[in-house]
Chains A and B, each alone.
Chain A
Amino acid sequence: MGLRAILRKRTEYFSIDVDFSCPEGKTLVLVGPSGAGKTTVIRMLAGLDRPDDGRITFRGKVIFDADRGICLPPQKRNLGYVFQDFTLFPHLTIHGNASFAAKDKKDVDHLLSYFGLLHLADRKPHQVSGGERQRCAICQALARRPDLLLLDEPFSALDVVTRRGLRAELKKIKDERGLSVVFVTHDIHEALFIADSILPIVDGKVDRDWLEQITSPSSPRDVQPRAVREPKLALVY
């Protein structure tokens, strides 16, 4: 009943053609090199870009169907979206941002406390660090109580230590809330840590060879053993 998507779109450099699903409460990671079309795929899921063809359903509800001319706007998809860079509203405080679309104001304080932002609640985004801004962006997305959380390389601009902390925090709260998550990254380590299943995308297509190549014994040592240590990992093709 989770997410099911068949997406086709012609871009300037290649055509995107992917078919995947993400079971309810699980994390699907779209991984691939930079410029592979991952962001376009997640933007199509969000309704920010329109596919040329295909169909998207979530919990059995059709949110896009090219044949039937159905294309729900982002506002009606009830999802959370965390952008690659910091997209907090600069005129609002951290609390104002987190509660921007909150359904339950009490939940905002809980989330700010969980992500260690409560003491920064009255500061503006430019007065806090990059990691804190991205934590706030996650709070903002979660406070809407979304059915599906989409994250587009949310930690790519952060240092390694902050990244690790955020990944763990995200994983924990996702499990607590039973959220379905689609996570985009070009970092295979990040993908292996977060994913319940992985969708490798290269040049707009699912590319099993690319993932096998990068996780094969001949690949750098720090990549391969992690893949082996993750027995629950399912590769989606």
Chain B
Amino acid sequence: MDLLPLYVSAKLAVITTSLLILISAPLAYLLVYGKWPGKFLFEALVNLPIALPPTVIGFYLLYLLGPQGYVGAIWREVFGGTLLFTFSGIVIATAVYNLPFSVQPIKATFEKIDPRLRENAYVLGLSPVATFFRVMIPNSINGIAAAAILVFLHSLGAFGVVLMVGGSISGETRVASIAIYEAVETMNYSEAWLLSLAFLPVSYFLLLLVNRLTRH
């Protein structure tokens, strides 16, 4: 059995999750406590991937990340090369697709924190940024961890958006879910079974962990 797709999937999930938590925590904080015009419009934009089919997101990303797209052009200027059909490209695509699945649980966690803790930090002299790091984050660890696990699982099983942006290049963009699809297409059911089986215990164990984290 070719284990490379499992490795690519795991690498994609770890990098996407790390990237998304770094982006989502401050973003969620701004969405909960920030007061700026057009906030509701921005929040709807962040949540858009929940409503759109992965292939539609993939199609837009194909254009944006391509050599003619804004992101693709900037990438080529800064790093050289292209984003399409590369590992970096599928990381960006998976991150965009998973953004709401990361932001929303963290936002819900921040909303549950007593607002007076934040006010207490302010009257004790802490800036909003210091309050974020010294009060909000330490009191949201479980919620952030639960969000990270959900994003990890989601990224591990990413299919449509990855296929659109990355195709299926072995060792680069051929993730486990694409490998399973291709194995089924070529009637290589034993490989499809084995790859699918690899997902089951990991997903089940991590879901148990999410339940435990959100319960406390």
Convert A89-104 into 0s and 1s, putting 1 for each residue whose CB lies closer than 8 angstroms to a CB of B.
Answer: 1110000000011000
Question: Contact between B124 and A73 (Cβ–Cβ < 8 Å)?
Answer: no
Smallest distance from the beta carbon of A130 to chain B beta carbons, Å? 16
Question: Contact between B125 and A144 (Cβ–Cβ < 8 Å)?
Answer: yes
Smallest distance from the beta carbon of A116 to chain B beta carbons, Å? 22
Smallest distance from the beta carbon of B137 to chain A beta carbons, Å? 9
Question: Contact between B139 and A89 (Cβ–Cβ < 8 Å)?
Answer: yes
Contact of A74 among B116, B123, B139 (CB under 8 A): B123
26 contacts between A and B (CB under 8 A): A46-B123, A47-B122, A48-B123, A73-B122, A74-B122, A74-B123, A75-B123, A75-B127, A78-B125, A81-B120, A83-B119, A83-B120, A85-B116, A87-B116, A87-B117, A87-B119, A87-B120, A89-B117, A89-B135, A89-B139, A90-B139, A91-B139, A100-B124, A101-B124, A101-B126, A140-B124
B-side contacts of A154, CB under 8 Å? none
**Whole-angstrom CA separation of A141 from B120 in the bound complex:** 9
Contact of B125 among A85, A91, A101 (CB under 8 A): A101
**Whole-angstrom CA separation of A33 from B125 in the bound complex:** 31
Would you list which residues of chain B between 48 and 83 have a CB under 8 Å from chain A? none
Smallest distance from the beta carbon of A24 to chain B beta carbons, Å? 20
B-side contacts of A87, CB under 8 Å? 114, 116-117, 119-120
A91-B138 contact given A83-B116, A85-B116, CB 8 Å threshold: yes
Task: Count B interface residues, CB 8 Å.
Answer: 15
Main secondary structure of the interface of A (DSSP, over half): loop
Smallest distance from the beta carbon of A188 to chain B beta carbons, Å? 26
Convert A36-67 into 0s and 1s, putting 1 for each residue whose CB lies closer than 8 angstroms to a CB of B.
Answer: 00000000001110000000000000000000
Convert B124-151 into 0s and 1s, putting 1 for each residue whose CB lies closer than 8 angstroms to a CB of A.
Answer: 1111000000010011000000000000
A83-B120, A100-B124, A140-B124 known; 13 new pairs, CB 8 Å cut-off, are A46-B123, A73-B122, A75-B127, A80-B123, A81-B120, A81-B123, A83-B119, A87-B117, A87-B119, A89-B138, A89-B139, A91-B138, A144-B125
**Whole-angstrom CA separation of A78 from B122 in the bound complex:** 10
B-side contacts of A140, CB under 8 Å? 124
Smallest distance from the beta carbon of B125 to chain A beta carbons, Å? 5
Convert B81-124 into 0s and 1s, putting 1 for each residue whose CB lies closer than 8 angstroms to a CB of A.
Answer: 00000000000000000000000000000000010110111111
